[in-house]
């Protein structure tokens, strides 16, 4: 059996170990509906939380990012897989600015398996966040990383990619998900849109 190894650098968290069983909270969970409080580096182990999130993303091929609230962790942090080998943890992230230019791209979410909707987001984003040591960092992202950052940030605000989508679009997406074997309660899903 190999030993667990966690590699943390200025560029993010890199993991080399098998994944434990980690469960997502159900899409009806209040964790997904409430704004996450600021991450407190004095009270919470940043490396441990970053490790838990990064492990989940690393071992789930469909995942590009994950917010703490999706695992039932009430902390203002998420991770993004910026490359196959690198996952960055963003503590207390802020969106400083976004581009005026937007793109419409189909998105999914681990909290809503097989539910896909086209979402309009800015193409570029400038952000500020704390790394695992609490040091503030600035970054700018374009393309898929910019989109994933905005998606995960939305989770920390108590929202999901469903916010802003029409009832009709959501109904169509639910019908497609049912074909693939996933059944959603329309009333529960619409609760995200009507808040």
Domain ranges of the chain: 5-193
Written out in words, the top-level CATH class of the domain with range 5-193 is alpha beta
Instruction: Name the 3-class secondary structure at 69.
Output: helix
Averaged pLDDT for residues 146-161: 96
pLDDT of residue 195: 53
What is the residue whose two structure tokens read 């969970």? 29
Positive or negative CA dihedral for 48, 42, 126, 151? positive
**Which of 150, 160, 143 lies closest to 103 in space, CA to CA?**
143
- Residue 20: what pLDDT? 54
pLDDT of residue 5: 41
* Active-site residue, 152 included: yes
Tell me the pLDDT band of 16, cut-offs 50, 70 and 90: very low
In the block, tokens 């909707």 appear at: 117
Mean pLDDT of the region 179-192: 88
Give the per-residue pLDDT at 1.
35
Q: Write the CB contacts of 100 (distance below 8 Å, at least 6 apart in sequence).
A: 122
Cα–Cα dist 160/155, whole Å: 6
Catalytic residue among 101, 152, 157, 171: 152
Q: Does the pLDDT of residue 13 top 70, yes or no?
A: no
Could you tell me if 97 and 86 are in contact, meaning their C-beta atoms sit under 8 angstroms apart? no
Residue 148, burial from CB neighbour count under 10 angstroms (0-12, 13-18, 19+) = buried
């Amino acid at each position: 059996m190999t030993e667990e190894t966690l590699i943390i650098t200025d560029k993010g968290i890199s993991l080399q170990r098998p994944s434990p069983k980690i469960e997502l909270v159900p899409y009806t969970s209040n964790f997904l509906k409430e704004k996450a409080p600021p991450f407190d580096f004095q009270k919470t182990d940043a490396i441990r939380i970053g490790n838990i999130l990064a492990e989940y993303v690393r071992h789930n091929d469909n995942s590009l990012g994950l917010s703490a609230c999706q695992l039932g962790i009430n902390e203002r942090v998420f991770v993004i897989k910026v490359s196959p080998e690198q996952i960055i943890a963003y503590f207390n992230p802020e969106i400083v600015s976004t581009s005026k230019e937007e793109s419409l791209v189909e998105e999914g979410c681990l909290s809503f398996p097989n539910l896909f909707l086209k979402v309009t987001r800015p193409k570029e984003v400038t952000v500020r966040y704390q790394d695992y040591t609490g040091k503030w960092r600035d970054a700018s992202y374009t393309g898929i990383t910019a989109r994933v950052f905005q998606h995960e940030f939305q989770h920390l605000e108590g929202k999901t990619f469903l916010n802003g989508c029409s009832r009709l679009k959501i109904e169509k997406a639910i019908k497609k998900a049912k074909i693939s074997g996933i059944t959603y309660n329309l009333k529960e899903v619409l609760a995200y849109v009507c808040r």
